[in-house]
Structure 1
Amino acid sequence: MHLRLIVPPDRSKRVLDTLVDDPRVTSIVRLPGAAHRPAGDVIECDVTREATSEILGWLKQQGLYDDGSVAIALVDAAPSRNARQAEKAAPGAPDDAVIWDAVVDKAYNEAKGSWVYYAFLTLATMIAAVAVITDSSILVVGAMVVGPEFGVVAALAVGLALGNAGLTWRAAWLLVLGFLLAIVVTTLAALVARAVGWIDTSDVIAARPLTGFIWRPDKWSAVVAVLAGCAGVLSQTAGRANALVGVFISVTTVPAAGDLALSIAVWAPEQIGGSAAQLGINLGGMTAAGVVTLLLQRRIWRTYLRVKGRAGARVEA
């Protein structure tokens, strides 16, 4: 991981000396007086992923989060001997380490909400509604991929796991508001389509071999939601964002929302209940699994460090 620090002059030497003395840190550069807002020295360095949280915690104790600046970026490749030596000095594997400051910061960004989030969720729900009408499994997958809701679910899990009431409330509210808006808009569109004769009740309640599972939740719905929640949180904490695509196409949140909107528009009470249950099971299962995964990650990593012992220099408070 690459750190760009702006350090107040009175703490610059201590921060620089500590980083230089830590074998898990390399490529250290200091630019005296280069920063103007906030004012201070710019220090840049590359840190092994395993050591990043520890070093960030020490920098926070030094007041850099309040009086300076800290920026974190992923280094895609560092094919140098110094980088390999730094990695050897850090215990464990990079994917096992969680950079909690980055996780929390990303969770807050996801929980902010934007018109793009609402737009994508609404469009995904409308695609899912068309998938139900046409009984198209391809459109169901497309709707799952377009849906942006997992980032908010992950933010909710982070808030619950870390006991952050503010983050938990913001994420939960955004999740509820987003799905409510998407379902309302899709329901209105379905009512228009029904009024002009494009759809009727039979299109929704008819046997649907490829999409009927959407409104018929069973034990496997909960199993998949739990597995997807674990995989999704792991992909984000380990920096494996490409794995999220698999999560998107495995959970039936957006398809259930689309089916629910259609069922309301044509008034199919049985499917209303089934779709709502499917949506609740998936959101609840993913959130619970995410919380447990985060807590286990923190416990396992702390236990590993305690047993293995930290290699190299210590960062002292």
Structure 2
Amino acid sequence: MLHLRAVCPQEKTASALGILRAHAGTAHLVVHRGAAVEPAGDLVEADIAREAADEIIDALCALDLDHTGGITLEALDTALSDAADRAEEAAPGEAADAVVWEELVARTGEESRLNVTFLAFLTIACLLAAVGVLTNSAVTIVGAMVVGPEFGPLAALAVGLVLRRWDLVRRAAAALGIGFPLAMVVTLGGALLVRATDVFGADAFRLERNHDVDFVFSVGVPSLVVAMLAGAAGMLAMTSAKSAALVGVFISVTTVPAAGYAVVAAVAGEWSRCLQSVGQLLVNLLGIVAAAAIVLIVRRNGQRSAVGTRPLSRG
């Protein structure tokens, strides 16, 4: 269940109540007359089935409440109520399969912002990847995968392309287009410092000896398959609120490690490996976005089909 709060101008409260009353997925409808101060109006609250959320929000936005008032949603961990049980049973489908599109847009939009935190995580991840390459440590490479924050902008790219939200596309492209080069430049400085001080030993830059991390730069069909599977799993996790599954997505793709490997290979003068690593990075980025977009298209079409058979009235 989700808890819905809507600030309504008084002249629109009756219409908002009508929408909520008419939908079988609504429970615990409450109205606080004149409770809203800024913007002024009434406060309407209800618990709604996740499967019903997208349709209800669309109807409330059609009243222009997102501009003249406000609409917020929050997840409910527990709802002990027969009315809530009836609402969930009346809404067709399963909560885990329901996509709340406005929630998805808001979430991916927030995670795709180019800010200091994003740049710091991406830079640290690239530095970890470079250390993993220099020390021939697959464990450190996996650590870099987990730290990397790049899936947020990649998911935002897919959402923006499918929903034609070009503001999301621009924001995500900026985060990736600025973030990766900046992180790689910082990593380049670190790699040059390591080489100058010889802190990791004389053989650290002999990459032909580091067979445990060869998977980072070995680009090919398997790389594309893994990237697409990861992109599909990641988007499924985001659209079904199964956020724990995202950790598996981070570990399965070699975006950040490929960037770190490319830098180390360039410092070592291994230009073939450097170019292969850049290719690995591009293949993974494109594969993730493509698969995520396909998942969104399939889920969007499926949800539209379900709306045609959804009972809107309580009878």
For Structure 1 versus Structure 2, the TM-score category normalised by the shorter chain is over 0.9
Instruction: Give the TM-score, by structure 2 length.
Output: 0.95
Offset, 1:301: 1.6
Residue 94 of structure 1 deviates from its aligned partner by: 1.1
CA distance in 1 between partners of 2:178 and 2:203 (Å)? 27
Whether the aligned pair in 1 keeps the contact of 2:217 and 2:258 (CA below 8 Å) is yes
- Are residues 1:218 and 2:216 paired? no
The AA in structure 1 aligned to 2:236 is: L
Higher deviation after alignment, 103-112 or 119-128:
103-112
Q: Which residue, 207, 232, 235 being the options, matches 1:233?
A: 235
Counterpart position of 1:95: 96
Offset, 1:113 = 1.9
User: What aligned pairs does 1:112-191 form with structure 2 within 5 A after superposition?
Assistant: 112-191=113-192
Q: CA deviation at 1:201?
A: 7.0
1:244-288 Cα deviation digits (max 9, x unpaired) = 000000000011011011112222101111110110010010001
Instruction: Tell me how far apart the structure 2 counterparts of residues 54 and 4 of structure 1 sit (CA, whole Å).
Output: 15
The offset of 1:8, in angstroms, is 0.5
Residue 198 of structure 1 aligns to a residue whose secondary structure is: coil
Unaligned residue ranges in structure 1 (runs of 5+):
none
Structure 1 residues 204 and 12: CA distance shift in structure 2, 3 A: farther
CA distance in 2, matches of 1:21, 1:167: 33
* Corresponding residue SS for 1:35: strand
Aligned match of 1:278: 280
CA offset at residue 56 of structure 1? 0.5
Aligned to 1:262: 264
Structure-1 separation of matches of 2:203 and 2:259: 17
Residue 135 of structure 1 aligns to a residue whose secondary structure is coil
Aligned residues of 2:19 and 2:56 also touching (Cα < 8 A): no
Q: What's the counterpart of residue 68 of structure 1?
A: 69
1:201–1:268 Cα contact (<8 Å) kept: no
SS in 2 for 1:72: strand
Separation in 2, partners of 1:19, 1:243: 33
- How much has 1:116 moved relative to structure 2? 0.5
State the distance in 2 between where 1:163 and 1:14 align: 29
Kindly indicate whether the alpha-carbon contact (under 8 Å) linking 2:19 and 2:60 is maintained by their aligned counterparts in 1.
no
Partners of 2:166 and 2:312 in 1: CA distance: 37
Measured after TM superposition, the shift of residue 204 of structure 1 is 4.3
Q: Report if the CA contact (8 A) 2:205-2:268 is conserved.
A: no
Which stretch shifts more, 256-265 or 203-212?
A: 203-212
**How many residues end up aligned between the 2 structures?**
312
Structure 1 residue 202: deviation in Å?
5.6
Instruction: State TM-score, norm by structure 1.
Output: 0.95
For 1:204 and 1:85, locate their aligned partners in 2 and report how far apart those are by CA, in whole Å: 65
Asked if structure 1 preserves the Cα contact closer than 8 Å seen for 2:231 and 2:291, the reply is: yes
Give the AA of the match of 1:3.
L
Q: What secondary structure sits across from 1:187 in the alignment?
A: helix
- CA deviation map 1:148-178 (0-9, x unaligned): 1101100011011112222212211211111
Residue 204 and residue 152 in structure 1: after superposition, are their counterparts in 2 closer, same or farther (change >3 A)? farther
Moved more, 268-277 or 166-175: 166-175
Report if the CA contact (8 A) 1:233-1:294 is conserved: yes
Output the amino acid matched with 2:100.
I
The secondary structure found in structure 2 opposite 1:249 is helix
Shift of 1:131: 0.5
Query: Would you say the 8 A contact 2:205–2:264 is kept in 1?
Result: no
- Using the alignment, how far apart are the partners of 2:167 and 2:180 within structure 1? 20
SS in 1 for 2:42: strand
Alignment check: 8 A CA contact 1:204 1:262 kept: no
RMSD: 1.4
| Residue of structure 1 equivalent to 2:111 | 110
CA contact (8 A) 1:125 1:183 kept: yes
**Residue in 2 that maps onto 1:47:** 48
Alignment match of 2:250 (pick from 248, 251, 256): 248
